[in-house]
Amino acid sequence: MTQAFQFDLCATDGAARTGVISTPRGRIRTPAFMPVGTAGTVKAMLPEQVAETGADILLGNTYHLMLRPTAERVDRMGGLHRFMNWDGPILTDSGGFQVMSLGELRKLDTGGVTFRSHIDGSRHRLTPERSMEIQRLLGSDIVMCFDECPALPAERERIAASMRLSMDWAARSRAAFGDRPGHALFGIQQGGLEPDLRAESAERLQAIGFEGYAIGGLAVGEGQAAMFDVLDYAPGQLPADRPRYLMGVGKPDDIVGAVARGVDMMDCVLPTRSGRTGQAFTRHGVVNIRNARHADDPRPLDEACTCPACRGYSRAYLHHVSRAKEMIASMLMTWHNLHYYQELMAGMRAAIAAGSFEAWQSAFHAARIEGDIEPL
């Protein structure tokens, strides 16, 4: 078992890449999708079930865990891996995005952010140094810099000021992170939809030096076309020998488009959140299992899928338990969605390695255009 954090690029096909991130806790095959375990759990799933879907790494949330149960308590319990019974790698975000979304509950200054908890109104201070301390207490394998991220659209002046503040915080995060063999710190590129600001951010991050680089400030209201416009150049502004992580993305076609443009890692709450609201992702698009058309349908969600929901249950049953709000509905639908996302990643990895990614993309989009199976 390796004791160093390392990224090995195995193959490319156009801008798309496949490789392996090695950590002391295991290997992460890229392109990788990270299920979100916000508060120390992937909702409606046991850790071993998440692993069965093919996930190599989970994401934990600094903001939520610092408030409840607190990072100090997690540390006393042996760290986040032991606390949540997940022995694979964990990436933790910095808490910056959640704090920025609090609106009137937070006050920003050059030192950090002062905010009130959305749970009980208690006052807290989050700085680059405190974010690094929290993530160290949690024991995550991949740590994210503390940054500031404005929602889009925003004025150029606001985006530029935010990016430069984030770059100052990135330097402070690097200094506070210290020497932690086997753990990695990722810098976060900002700059909105402005190519020159993105280039400035990438240059400053590389001058500081990180084990990996994230593309931040997207999937915050700009739309897919604008996001892809940025991804046409932003990954190329970052080092080719380090992992590239697109934060908070997304829908299956967002993910495929991002991989086609050189992204290695992604995360999103969408497959788990959608599972709890009766939405399933399939090769032929999104299925709303609560629709009446499924009430008497004995067929599986996807006949080609091998997840437990598709192997053992009909659309009619899933429709019933979802409409009745039974817990098993969230469990089965979430399992299916995470299984689908991991199959998507495995398919792209194989296609890139075989040099057939363009054909794979065409087949992916063609199947989605076909739409769901006809009702009985």
Active-site amino acid positions: 93, 267
Tokens of 266: 């992604």
Q: How many CB atoms lie within 10 A of CB 174?
A: 18
DSSP 205-224: HHHH--SEEEE-S-SSSS-H
Bond prior to 195 in cis (omega within 30° of 0):
no
Buried b (16+ CB within 10 A) or exposed e, 115-154: beeeeeeeebebbbbbbbbbbbbbbbbbbbbbbbbbebeb
DSSP designation for 18: E
d(CA 37, CA 47): 10
Look at residues 78, 111, 112, 107 and name the one whose alpha carbon lies nearest to residue 95. 112
Tokens of 341: 């996302």
d(CA 48, CA 36): 15
Tokens 């208690």 -> residue? 122
- 3-class secondary-structure state, position 199: helix
Percentage helix, strand, coil for the chain under 3-state DSSP, each rounded to 5: 45, 20, 40
